[in-house]
Amino acid sequence: MKIKKRDSAAIIDALSGGVVPRRGIQHIMVGRANESRQILKDLENVTEGASIVKFFIGAFGSGKSFIQGLIKQKAIQSNFVVTKADFSPEKRLYGDGKAVTLYTELVNNLSTNTAPEGGALSAIIEKWITQVQTKVIEVKKYETVDFSNEEFIKDVEKEITEEVTKMDELSGGYDFARILSVYYRGFAEEDTDIQRKALRWLRGEYGTRTEAKADLQVRDIIDDSNYYNYLKVLSQFVKQVGYAGLVVNFDEAINLYKITHPQAREKNYETILTMFNDCLQGSFEGLYITFGGTPEFLEDERRGLYSYGALRRRLEVNRYETEEFRDLSQPVIKLSPLRQEELFVLLQRLREIHAVHYKYESSITDEELKNFIIKEFSVPGAEQHTTVGHVVKRFIDSLNILYQNPAFNKNEIFGREDTNEQEEAYPNVMSRFSST
């Protein structure tokens, strides 16, 4: 296997901790070929001017976070800016400081092909500044970038304002342009303090308009009432910079379902409806929004999205879809956990990645991998409660033990138990490997 050391380390460390790796996902993608093709189609459509909202729905351990990690990887490869945030009791789509906290996390997590781990906001702005300066030099016939020339700086600031206000006149565009001009002034004068304040404003970290006006001479701040407008402005801005669009991944949507106050929960769902309508009605271009949630979050008629009539009408799954014949173009994609035979292929890949990373020859056979999976799913209640994530974490743990302790008897982990007894008690688990 050809894999970068950084990717193999990210995979092993992340899976050991029970989370989805940020790098190298292509090396462990198993059983999601159809979803992967649909993601690429969606990204292509967004590149061509569409905006799309997708809901990835599945039980815990079905791969929702993995899919969003895959989306991030594919999107960055396709020249998108990508960001993500997890819903929590402190981070929601509506209300009481929680919405702007969510927005701040999104802006902090902006990632590009040159900054895949996040924190790309300043790099995106400075890339755009370089483009604007180049345009001004060509149009106004300046010889080069000249920060000592006040006329050059003013011409660039004027061009910045004109460029940003072209963004479909979205609400918030004026102050956004003002902040970019302020940032540019700090950039030209090497005033890192004013640049820091401009970035703070763009991240939604000013608590009062008075403080923002004193620091930056702007009339507004980003808060719960307008953060979504600025998210749309940001999506249009990155397209102007030359990116294909903006991808926003929201995970742990179960935390919206868990909101106990009915009106607060409904306000969050109302925001989802607004996002959905804006994207599908073509209000703007270049935005791909995904939500990762459980079946309860979608289908519960008392507290889920189906409790909000307008969302239910839009999100009801294609009635003709079956497990075999699926419609992946619809807004809701239901995810099933990997089958045992797919999990077997995944463990094969992890065995190879671990061996390549630590530079040793693995002695674990395919038969022993099957034994490991059978043991994991032969525990009473495992079919309902053991997830792929649990199995993978324990498998990485076992590889780590064997690598660090050569005297450890691997049969304690991978040895065959009484197969006849297992087959009688758990025929479904055993039969899935009969043709593997």
Instruction: Give the pLDDT band (50/70/90) at residue 432.
Output: low
Cβ pair 151, 171 in contact under 8 A: no
pLDDT at 425: 44
Mean pLDDT across 278-297 = 92
Instruction: Give the pLDDT band (50/70/90) at residue 301.
Output: very high
Instruction: Give the pLDDT band (50/70/90) at residue 382.
Output: low
pTM for this model (two decimals): 0.86
Indicate if the pLDDT at residue 305 is higher than 60: yes
pLDDT at 275: 96
Mean pLDDT across 307-322 = 92
Indicate if the pLDDT at residue 430 is higher than 70: no
For the domain bounded by 32-112+243-334, which CATH number is listed? Answer: 3.40.50
User: Which range is least confidently modeled, 27-36, 104-113, 374-383, 385-394?
Assistant: 374-383
Instruction: Give the pLDDT band (50/70/90) at residue 250.
Output: very high
Domain ranges of the chain: 32-112+243-334, 121-216, 340-431
Q: Please give the Cα distance from 304 to 395 (Å, whole number).
A: 35
Mean pLDDT score of the chain? 89
b/e code 107-141 from CB counts within 10 Å (16+ = b): bbbbbbeebeebebbbebbebbbeebbeebbeeee
User: Which range is least confidently modeled, 263-272, 278-287, 292-301?
Assistant: 278-287
Q: Please give the Cα distance from 56 to 317 (Å, whole number).
A: 12
User: Which range is least confidently modeled, 167-181, 311-325, 386-400?
Assistant: 167-181
User: Which range is least confidently modeled, 59-73, 185-199, 369-383?
Assistant: 369-383
Task: Give the per-residue SS3 of 41-69.
Answer: HHHHHHHCCCCEEEEEECCCCCCHHHHHH
More confident residue, 284 or 228: 228
pLDDT at 295: 95
Mean pLDDT across 78-95 = 96
Mean pLDDT across 227-253 = 94
pLDDT at 26: 87
Maximum distance among all alpha carbons in the chain?
86
Instruction: Give the pLDDT band (50/70/90) at residue 390.
Output: confident
Mean pLDDT across 310-316 = 95
Indicate if the pLDDT at residue 421 is higher than 70: no
pLDDT at 426: 46
pLDDT digits (tens, 9 = 90+) for 182-193: 999 899 889 999
pLDDT at 33: 86
